Amino acid sequence: MIEARFGIALARYPERPFLLSSTTAFSYTDFFQYCRKLSNGLARLNGDRLACYMADSTDLVAVMLAAGMSGKSLLMLNRDLTQQQLPALLQRYNVDVLISDLVPEVELPVTVLGAHRLRELITEEPLLETRDGEILILTSGTTGQPKCARYTWPDLFAQVSERPALEQERWLLAYRLNHFAGLQMLVHVLHNGSTLVLAESNRVPHALHAMQCHSVTHVSSTPTFWRYALATLPESGHDLGLRHITLGSEPVSASLLEQLQRVFPRARIVHIYASTEAGSCVSVSDMRPGLPISILQRQADADVQFRIVEDELYIRSAHGMKGYAGAGEIAARDEDGWLATGDLVRIENDRILFKGRRSETINVGGVKVHPVEVEDVILALPGVKLARVFGQPNPVTGQIVAVDVVINIDYTNLEVEESVREACLALSRHARPRNINFVDALETNNFKLKRQ
Amino acid sequence: MSKETEVIEMIKTILKHQAMQETEVEISSELYDDGIGLDSLCVAELSAMLEKAYGSDPYTSNVMPRTVGDIVSFYGDA
């Protein structure tokens, strides 16, 4: 499948840039040749399963595509994992060879290949057969122990819609490649003959710099990423010529959509609903938060169907993961293939609105409060850069609503606290924050707010 | 500022947060229905405020203060 997609791209635009970074530039032709030769080498490694523990880089992209072409399955390990966490994961997922851009300081139960030695594997000698390997993605684990989703490359490509490439699209990689959304980004770029731009790091200033340097036209990232970025960009006078913004991985608020439209008036702004387990499910472009209620009417022959059971969103996807990779990791799918997403929703008029994750529900004296609904109110305030609402244990009501707030530098804590309290008077008494903490930053995982 | 004044200020702040009627708060004031009128949500907030300010609070320590003075005494005895 990967080879076939490269074949289509090479026939149409062989010299178009496929990958751009601060240090390298590869055309489709050059990168395919590199991946093809690398896949010959990877195919000769012992065992069926590889893992990579590498920072986002052209080498990592090459390993992902070459592994797929070699028939090996590849486990993507987050470089934020500590080395001490690696042995258990490598054992749990039966990895044979680890490709790492760090020299291991702990004993690992597998063969380790340094990423700097990848080029030694390159060989012109072709494979006897071509087959697609699987790719294994760990769930973000923002609310607990991550699981490992198994995907086939054909299923990943089947989730991408082909777009008429009238004008060349340059996409910034604003998710990590070990994250499902980052993998989707790579597949989307290859499928549509676009260009992938890698920033020097995943930090927002580097991302903005890469957008400028490489004339990025399209960006897919989280609302949290954009809240950070908008706090540093002027509303006008910046030189980013974005034509398209995709928001995903977190609920999108009306205030963020409005702010993005003001700062990027020429950009088409969409938000998508996707999950590591179900894949890409729906894209919404009407500049309203939530999903249109019409998706609940989709018929059984649709690629993705939705339903709501006891306030939880369920999905049935034709091209989702094949299953979890680890022993004892049980998919939350019922016998008909419906997957419980853990996302709690409510219907308001013609919209499905997100209340938050089931696991994040706060119980205040027996009344359930959903963090996202409180965050939406707080994030709409002018002095607030980021906010994370959570349940704080309390001896009187079990839990109270608490919030960590990062403020914009033009405001004082006192000003923001007063406006938060005033705005939250619109919420029920149980949902009003009883503890407001001001913090310098909030911990994120791949630009998603990390939940407790 | 004395602990008595600080606790009284906290209670006044909570009343303000709840847009509750301004009322006189003194060391002898009853905290609940017969006095200031704090309900469970107000008390939960008071507990969180005390814990944040002093590192402990009577409610978490299974002490149920009846008056403002009981709260002040809790810290005095600690």
Cβ-based neighbours of A447, under 8 Å, separated by 6 or more: A174, A175, A202, A221, A222, A224, A225, A228, A249
Q: CA-to-CA distance for A69 and A36, rounded, in angstroms? A: 7
Chain B residue numbers with beta carbons less than 8 Å from the beta carbon of A392 are: 48
Give the three-state DSSP class for B4.
helix
Which ipTM was obtained for this model? Answer: 0.90
Averaged over A83-99, what is the pLDDT?
91
Nearest CA in chain A to B19: A425
Q: For the segment B13-22, what is each residue's pLDDT rounded down to a tens digit?
A: 998 887 777 7
Q: For the segment A215-234, what is each residue's pLDDT rounded down to a tens digit?
A: 999 999 988 888 888 877 77
B44–A402 C-beta distance less than 8 A? no
Judged by average pLDDT, the poorest of A87-91, A146-150, A379-383 is: A146-150
- The HSE-up count of residue B39 (CA atoms within 13 Å, CB side) is 6
Q: CA-to-CA distance for A137 and A77, rounded, in angstroms? A: 8
How many angstroms separate the CA of residue A101 from the nearest CA in chain B? 44
A430–B43 C-beta distance less than 8 A? no
User: Among all chains, which residue has been given the structure tokens 């993507």?
Assistant: A76
B40–A394 C-beta distance less than 8 A? no
Chain A residue numbers with beta carbons less than 8 Å from the beta carbon of B19 are: 425
pLDDT of residue A25: 94
When CB atoms are compared, the residue of B41, B45, B60 closest to A395 is B60
Amino acid code (one letter) for A386: L
- Strand ranges in A193-330 using DSSP code E only, listed in sequence order: 195-197, 218-221, 244-247, 268-275, 279-284, 291-292, 304-309, 312-317, 323-324
Chain B residue numbers with beta carbons less than 8 Å from the beta carbon of A429 are: 18, 41
B52–A430 C-beta distance less than 8 A? no
Please determine, for residue A127, whether its predicted confidence score (pLDDT) is greater than 70.
Answer: no
Confidence grade of residue A143 (pLDDT, cut at 50, 70, 90): very low
The structure tokens listed for A44 are 């000769």
How many Cβ atoms from other residues are within 10 Å of residue A448's Cβ? 19
Nearest CA in chain B to A400: B44
Q: For the segment A327-343, what is each residue's pLDDT rounded down to a tens digit?
A: 766 666 777 888 888 89
A to B CB pairs, distance under 8 Å: 40
When CB atoms are compared, the residue of A421, A425, A435 closest to B48 is A435
**Residue B52 contacts A, CB cutoff 8 Å:** yes
Chain A residue numbers with beta carbons less than 8 Å from the beta carbon of B44 are: 364-365, 394, 396-397, 400, 434
Q: CA-to-CA distance for A272 and A256, rounded, in angstroms? A: 14
- Give, to the nearest 10 degrees, the angle between helix A28-43 and helix A2-12: 160
How many angstroms separate the CA of residue B27 from the nearest CA in chain A? 22
A365–B44 C-beta distance less than 8 A? yes
Averaged over B27-41, what is the pLDDT?
88
Q: CA-to-CA distance for A31 and A274, rounded, in angstroms? A: 29
Q: Which of A254, A452, A234 is nearest to A437 (CA)?
A: A452
Averaged over B23-33, what is the pLDDT?
88
Mutation pick from B41, B56, B74 vs chain A, by most beta carbons of A within 10 Å, is B41
Averaged over A418-441, what is the pLDDT?
92
Give the three-state DSSP class for A159.
coil
Check if the beta carbon of residue A143 is closer than 8 Å to that of residue A357.
yes
Mutation pick from A364, A369, A396 vs chain B, by most beta carbons of B within 10 Å, is A396
Buried b (16+ CB within 10 A) or exposed e, A372-411: bbbbbbbbbbebbbbbbbbbbebbbbebbbbbbbbbeeee
Question: Which of left, alpha, beta for A130 (phi over 0: left; psi -120 to 50: alpha)?
Answer: beta
A434–B41 C-beta distance less than 8 A? yes
Please determine, for residue A44, whether its predicted confidence score (pLDDT) is greater than 70.
Answer: yes
**Residue B43 contacts A, CB cutoff 8 Å:** yes
pLDDT of residue A334: 78
Averaged over A263-268, what is the pLDDT?
92
Q: CA-to-CA distance for A167 and A160, rounded, in angstroms? A: 18
